[in-house]
Homo-oligomer: A and B are copies of this chain.
């Protein structure tokens, strides 16, 4: 406990059971305990919760030589890292930054205020950790200073903490996109029953949603009874809608997480995905039609109206894939607008939403095209 940096010690206290926390805090020396208690006030997943309150600080009117020997004393007691050195005024407001390497290489008698860069990228203490990770990545930083609402510097978030954040956030998104709640612990450290709970929740929701397909099918029961051949293509058609929807939602959710797509891009995305859906749907429609005509030519599989059945299936594929692509790309925007996690637009959820509509498209087209012949 005593060897840990304050931000890591705070993490240990945070995951300990309520009744052991005081005991852990008492292992720390007085100044460190103060730092750790201050950190515990922050949410675990914002900049304040990630930051290390120990950073290298200087005044602008020191010379480089004075600065180096002053830092040497700071390094002895309380610094964990020495990427950047921050230059603060008397009120702890951030004036500038200089990389330690630049300071170390600068002429001895130059003033710190003349070596430092004055444009400093900083983050507010309540910024979400995912956004902190994006700031660090965008500006290619080794560490970013954390300031409070008054502009006083409170700590630094270093890039090595960000690797964990990036991995954690990606794991959460991947698990959600797979159609389950995020585990939040590694696979083997997750107990059997907690894991079943995380999976059963969404599985049940999807199952109940999918029950609508039974009602939709029931509406067309008479059509199926008259033309059983229609039933054969049901799995093929609905799964194609689900697959194209899965591609679209995955693509958009990830691009949103990386900051490549924002809510205001919704219209541009939908236009592009409409075109994608039509293109992809056309490809599957052609393959589907070819397959049915070939099956009929070789094995007389689909009866005298094979051509009409083929056209019905092909047009349904075009409709279902376009619809799947559109709804898969729209859903993440709807979730984000409702302040929910876009990653909940999982492949299974999109597939479930698309299935019912896919059946309606298919049987409506069948009704229109086959009435008077098969129906």
Contact = CB atoms under 8 A, between A and B. Distances in A.
Interface of A: 71-72, 75-76, 79-83, 100-101, 104-105, 133, 136-137, 140-142, 158-160, 162-164, 166-167, 170-171, 173-175, 177-180, 183, 186-188, 192, 195-196, 199-200, 202-204, 206-208, 210-211, 213-214, 217-218, 221, 224-225, 228-229, 231-236, 238-240, 242-244, 246-247, 249-255, 258, 260-261, 272, 275-276, 279-280, 283-284, 287-288, 291, 301, 321, 346-348, 351-352, 355, 359
B251 A210 contact: no
B233 A214 contact: yes
Contacts of A179: 243, 246-247, 250, 347
Contacts of A224: 224, 228, 231
A206 B284 CA distance: 10
A165 B310 CA distance: 47
B240 A284 contact: no
B218 A232 contact: yes
Main secondary structure of the interface of A (DSSP, over half): helix
Given A136-B163, A199-B247, A284-B204, A187 B232 contact: no
Contact of A203 (B79, B166, B196, B280): B280
Contacts of A79: 101
Contacts of A175: 250-251, 254
Contacts of A187: 251-252, 255, 260-261
Given A224-B231, A238-B235, A160 B142 contact: yes
A170 B166 contact: yes
A183 B247 CA distance: 11
Contact of A251 (B72, B162, B178, B232): B178
Contacts of A284: 203-204, 207
Given A170-B174, A214-B232, A276-B195, A250 B163 contact: no
25 contacts: A76-B105, A79-B101, A133-B163, A137-B163, A137-B167, A159-B159, A167-B258, A170-B173, A170-B174, A178-B246, A183-B251, A186-B258, A199-B244, A199-B247, A199-B276, A200-B279, A200-B280, A204-B283, A204-B284, A207-B243, A224-B231, A225-B228, A234-B234, A243-B351, A347-B348
Contacts of A137: 163-164, 167
A280 B240 CA distance: 25
A252 to B, nearest CB: 8
A207 B75 contact: no
B171 A254 contact: yes
Contacts of A276: 192, 195-196, 199
